[in-house]
Amino acid sequence: MLHHKTNAQAEIFGSMPDGATVYSYELSNQNGMKLKVITYGATITSLKIQLENGHFIDVVLGFDTLNDYIKSFELKSPPYFGATIGRFAGRIKNSTFSLNQKAICLNKNNNNHSLHGGNKGFSQKLWNIESINDDMNSSITLTYASPDGEENYPGNLLVSVTYSLSNQNELIIKYKAVSTADTIVNLTHHSYFNLDGHQSNLSEQELFVNSNLLLETDSEYIPSGNYINLDNHAFDFRETKKCPSKIDNTFVVKNQNTIAASLFSKNNNLKMTVETNQPGVHIYVGGNCFNLLKGKGSTDYDAVSGICFETQNFPDAPNHSNFPSSILKKGECYQHKTIYKFRIL
């Protein structure tokens, strides 16, 4: 049942190839922070922050049209701009895992592996609006019912994602999921952030990651099951340093619900912190559209246009007994919370 208690208005964002309408909703807080979400992929298309000088900047990458979001999944490396990722974020080796002594073979969409839920994950689905309200925090809840066998995952899975804007300039994302059968679940958010605005590059922004361990991976970014100690490592970001031009790695989050990572722009005196109850944060720098699609405002996004903080369980977790379990038992509730907080320093 759709519950409205808000002044947020639905706007038509476009139509799917089958004619279904995709809507866009805008939330705001008392400080003028504005968030736009579309029902395609439960995707964040815009996040605007007011700077000290009164100007607003849009700190996430995206497209101006639904057609470009749809077409982006045909790129050789789809960017998943702002999308909700599921059923399983990250890669699953050889697209197979074992559950209850039964081998499950998923669809392959990344070499021999399954990435971000397969050929048509949650990021390409049409979500329903469950509720919109302005009680304490302006929020919107979207739901998707993933049928048993979709992308070969077991169980009917009912998923919800709630986006909230607090008056402390926090973007709070909460996920819930319940399945009719034992399954695996690993959801995440895939915005590419840029604190100088989505038309800039990241080269001067500073990264902090509160982690001393990295997952060891092979050349196809598949975890070995081992951890790399970050002492004297190039990816030790416990002391703030410039964003790397290339990174696609999962950091182990030791202390959940403290700051897991942060990004800082000296240019705008703007800082974003990331908190999560998840065991990992996968950090990825990218956004390249290979000059085939234009970003918002006809921007050409390249390999250093944005940075993702994908808070999640570990990639390939179902195939490693020493990783946190990604199994969701029948009838139990998966819950995940991540906060992106913005402050002018």
Distance, in Å, from the CA atom of 283 to the CA atom of 79, rounded to the nearest integer, reads 14
- Short-list 315, 311, 291, CA closest to 302: 291
Ligand-binding site membership of 190 (annotated)? yes
Ligand-binding site membership of 192 (annotated)? yes
Ligand-binding site membership of 248 (annotated)? yes
- Contact between 163 and 169 under an 8 Å Cβ cutoff? The reply is no
User: Catalytic pick from 190, 198, 320, 336?
Assistant: 190
Distance, in Å, from the CA atom of 141 to the CA atom of 127, rounded to the nearest integer, reads 10
Is 190 catalytic? The answer is yes
For tokens 């979500």, what's the residue? Answer: 127
Residues contacting 240, CB < 8 A, separation 6+: 206, 207, 208, 262, 264
171 phi and psi angles, rounded to 5 deg: -95, 110
Q: Which amino acid is at 176?
A: K
Give the DSSP letter of residue 69.
H
Residues contacting 273, CB < 8 A, separation 6+: 259, 261, 262, 339, 340, 341, 343
Distance, in Å, from the CA atom of 27 to the CA atom of 34, rounded to the nearest integer, reads 6
Sign, CA dihedral 227-260-158-79, equals negative
Query: Which tokens is 159 given?
Result: 């998923």
Residues contacting 285, CB < 8 A, separation 6+: 202, 243, 244, 245, 246, 247, 248, 303, 304, 306, 307, 308
Query: Which parts of 39-92 fold into alpha helices (H)?
Result: 66-71
Query: Which tokens is 295 given?
Result: 């970003």
Ligand-binding site membership of 146 (annotated)? no
Is 150 catalytic? The answer is no
Distance, in Å, from the CA atom of 306 to the CA atom of 300, rounded to the nearest integer, reads 12
User: Catalytic pick from 26, 150, 275, 310?
Assistant: 310
Query: Which tokens is 253 given?
Result: 């989050």
N-term to C-term CA, the chain: 42
The catalytic residue positions are: 190, 310
Could you tell me which residues are annotated as the binding site? 190-192, 248
Could you tell me which residues are annotated as the binding site for beta-D-galactose? 190-192, 248
